[in-house]
Amino acid sequence: MNQAVYSDLFSITDIPISTLVSIFSSERYHILLFDGKGTLTIDFINYEFEGKSIFFTSPYQHFKITTDQSFMIKKIDFHGDFYCIEYHKEEVACNGLLFNNIYSNPFITLNQENYEELKYLTCKLTKEIENNNQYSEPILKAYLQLILAIGSKIKSQELASSTALPRKQNAIEKFKPLLEQNYIVHRDTSFYADKLALSPGVFTKRCKSFYRKTPSQLIQERVILEAKKLIHLTYKNFKEIAALLNFEDEHYFSRYFKKNTGITPTLFRKKVGISIAGDLSNK
């Protein structure tokens, strides 16, 4: 294993695929660049991949890779205190596209040109850390920002070029905006099935086909995503957050959060911290 560590907040590593066969999560963001075939499991949902790919995860997302192949992975990991994706949203529109996107694949399939370009940038990151000069941090952030910008561009193009949905899937596509509008108040799948004029069984079947997740999984993920944002981006206490998310009290909220993330809200805030974007909004 070849590892270049700039600080406790940023590192880049060449790792064999065998190190990711067990469920892994941490307080950092992760970027994985690789060329291979297998199954990516993220938050217990399976995605098939083949070829040159780049994969993005957010703090305390659980993931592993299952494959019968042997290949190396270039892994970048960084803490929000090193590079705040919320603070840099004007330069890199990656939050909600590459990270924190519950509605689409968590990876991008790359062509040869994109793969070589991203691989070149990861090599530049490694060399910059090895040079260990006083200007390293802004240079590392610039390379990281470029990787995220390229990833965002490719992902946007991928989504824009998606083929039109068959008529029977048009209704299920409307589930996303409906969920965004109602997830705080309505967490029962029957509410959404009724709004889409679908039977519960058909609703679940089409949802799994289109999003690869059941309606209840998407509802839970959307609630947890908002909870993570409020913990990470604000100074609100957990009683306030529980109320905003329509939980009976902070204890029920804490149990719900831990069940879905494996970590308590208190420990999540301690490990992930409050973003610089949260610092700025408090001023």
pLDDT tens digits, the chain, 283 residues: what are they?
A: 677 778 889 999 999 999 998 988 999 999 999 999 999 999 888 999 999 999 999 999 999 999 999 999 999 999 999 999 988 887 788 888 999 999 988 899 999 999 999 999 999 999 999 887 766 889 999 999 999 999 999 999 988 876 544 545 567 889 999 999 999 999 999 999 999 999 999 999 999 998 989 999 999 999 999 999 999 999 999 999 999 999 999 999 999 999 999 999 999 999 999 987 765 555 4
Domain residue spans in the chain? 2-160, 167-281
SS3 content of the chain, % helix, strand, coil (to 5): 50, 20, 30
Q: Return the CATH number of 167-281, one of 1.10.10.60, 3.40.50.720, 2.60.40.1260, 3.30.565.10.
A: 1.10.10.60
Instruction: Give me the phi and psi of 79, to 5 degrees please.
Output: -90, 155
Within the chain, strands assigned E span 2-7, 10-16, 29-42, 45-57, 63-66, 72-78, 107-109
pTM over 0.85, yes/no: yes
260-266's contacts with Cβ under 8 Å and 24+ in sequence apart are 260/220, 260/221, 260/224, 261/60, 261/224, 261/228, 262/25, 262/60, 262/62, 263/60, 265/227, 265/231, 265/238, 265/241, 266/238
Look up the CATH superfamily of 2-160.
Answer: Regulatory protein AraC (2.60.120.280)
- Please give the helix or strand (H or E) that residue 262 lies within, else none: none
